[in-house]
Amino acid sequence: MHALRKSRRTFLSQLTGAAAAGAAGLLQASSALAQTLSTSLANGLSRITGNIIRRGDDSYPSWWAGMTWYIFKPKRYPDVIVRAKSSEDAAETIRYAHQNEDRVAVRSTGHNPARAVLRDGGILLDLSQLRDVEIDAENRTAWIQPGIRANELYQRTAEHGLVFPAAHTGMVGLGGYLLGGGIGWNMPEYGIACRSVLGAEVILADGNLTTVSEQNHPELLWAIRGAGPGFFGAVVRYKIQLQEAHTAVEASTYVIPIDRLDEALEEFDRIGEAADPRLEILIKIGRFHPTENPYPERDIVCVVQFFAFANSPEEATRLLTPVAASRVGELSIHRRERVPVTYRELYIPPETDQTSPARTTVENMWTEEPGEALRKLAKKLVEQPPRSPRSFLLCGWSFNSTFEDSTSCVRTGGRHYMSWYMIAEQEADIEPNYIWMDEAVALMRPYSKGHYINEIDPVRYPKHVAECFAPDDWERLRALRVQYDPDRVFHDYIGPDAYAFE
């Protein structure tokens, strides 16, 4: 417990040491390999204007460590990292891989908790510097590149009074977020974000750039809408549908003691049934009160937030009527009601996201029984606390109304979304976290209606990958991969071994 009290400087020093220790093996690449790569890359990637970092280069450990924002990294090392400065750089890289029978893993900003961008061997193609945004305000559309982050996109769209249902955390890049579906702000109103993708520019396995739309390669557009990190191409631009920004957003927050959770869940159910799609309900269970105390000295509580996306105070009042009519306020030990919120404030990372780099494993499910599922998982959190007191549960209550849709491969199998996050304070916490997660996954299995590809652990639970899709859609995705990437230039979904999905 005392480790949690250490100063920020000491903590950051420990994290740097952990990253360096994890990178030690990558410097063991033989001089012969380094020389081979140097010659081959010099000949094959001479037109690349971005950065090329080879395993064996002095700078490789720091580049490798920066490819995923998580502290605890898998011991998987690509031979080469290419940070593209342009779509042409990306195309050259993929063309080189195709011609040399190499493999490519594509990175947008490295937010995926499976750390799937880190593979053994091959090329890691980093698209994080592709960040252009072109807005057509009249038609409420935009072309965006994968490296742009949620808060940055909002800053650009806000100039036109427009928004996009981007990630709840402003630092998340749009590339991987959209490719995996995209659970974000306004989802009850606008649906999962990938269904707002109107088209894309994709570099296929032969290195050629293809424009994808409902009229041109509609099967690729279908796959882009939700395939996630197993997609068989590199998306370098997305065309997205924007929405008019709400002008009177309000938030009400309630902190409820864990021993009153059963009563609270009954209230959430009633509120959810009566809620307008513009009322977003977010629930977190963990050590969140009182906030002025260090985590080990906090109580496990249920924090529920209601966000009313309105265009006037009167409309916000109407949207919040089911909350006002409930017992949620009566059950609370702390509350803040009817607080005006700007979109800019929505993208400020909450405390749970500030600890996200220390996550070691994440899992989720869509469900039709959020009350019973949260009750059981919260009981486990209380009676069998994880090693880190920063671990927590999350639920988007009544978040979803469209389970499947023929224009996208993403499947949102239930009305409610649940996820749970294991945090580590040190490397010794990782294996106990996995044991806790194994038990939690088994406990939640009866309530699961499928998973969300962007927040699963496919190395530990490879069956969850296919369960992110309807069975027929999974088979269609596999067939499209064979059709568009017959030589397996792009890495498949990551699993317990390199060939888990091949």
DSSP string, 64-97: HHHTS--SS--S---SEEEE-SSHHHHHHHHHHH
Q: Which of 437, 432, 303, 306 is nearest to 377 (CA)?
A: 437
DSSP β-bridge partners for residue 184: 167
Angle between helices 370-383 and 430-444 (to 10 degrees): 150
Q: Which residues of 380-416 are buried (b: 16+ CB within 10 A; e: fewer)?
A: bbeeeebbbbbbbbbbbbbbbeeeebeebbbbbbbbb
Neighbours of 192 (CB within 10 A): 26
> CA 264, CA 390: separation in Å to the nearest integer?
22
pLDDT one-digit tens code per residue, 256-289: 999 999 999 999 999 999 999 999 999 999 999 9
Would you state the pLDDT for residue 240?
98
Would you state the pLDDT for residue 419?
98
- Give the predicted TM-score (pTM) of the model: 0.91
Neighbours of 120 (CB within 10 A): 12
Tokens of 118: 């880190």
Question: Which H, E and C letters describe 348-377, residue by residue?
Answer: CCCHHHHCHHHEEEEEEEEECCHHHHHHHH
Give the containing element (helix H, strand E) for 123: strand 123-126
Going residue by residue through the chain, which has 502 residues, state the pLDDT in tens, using 9 for 90 and above.
Answer: 333 333 333 333 444 444 444 455 554 544 455 555 555 665 678 889 999 999 999 999 999 999 998 999 999 999 999 999 999 999 999 999 999 999 999 999 999 999 999 999 999 999 999 999 999 999 999 999 999 999 999 999 999 999 999 999 999 999 999 999 999 999 999 999 999 999 999 999 999 999 999 999 999 999 999 999 999 999 999 999 999 999 999 999 999 999 999 999 999 999 999 999 999 999 999 999 999 999 999 999 999 999 999 999 999 999 999 999 999 999 999 999 999 999 999 999 888 888 889 999 999 999 999 999 999 999 999 999 999 999 999 999 999 877 678 999 999 999 999 999 999 999 999 999 999 999 999 999 999 999 999 999 999 999 999 999 999 999 999 999 999 999 999 999 999 875 566 6
Backbone angles phi, psi at 306, to 5 degrees: -115, 120
> CA 138, CA 134: separation in Å to the nearest integer?
12
Angle between helices 261-274 and 370-383 (to 10 degrees): 150
Q: What sign does the CA torsion over 175, 179, 180, 183 have?
A: positive
Q: Using alpha carbons only, what angle is made at residue 109 by residues 106 and 115, rounded to the nearest 5 degrees?
A: 65
DSSP β-bridge partners for residue 287: 300
Q: Which residues of 251-264 are buried (b: 16+ CB within 10 A; e: fewer)?
A: bbbbbbbbebbeeb
Backbone angles phi, psi at 359, to 5 degrees: -70, 140
Strands of 370-489 (E only): list them: 392-397, 416-423
Would you state the pLDDT for residue 45?
81
DSSP β-bridge partners for residue 201: 211, 237
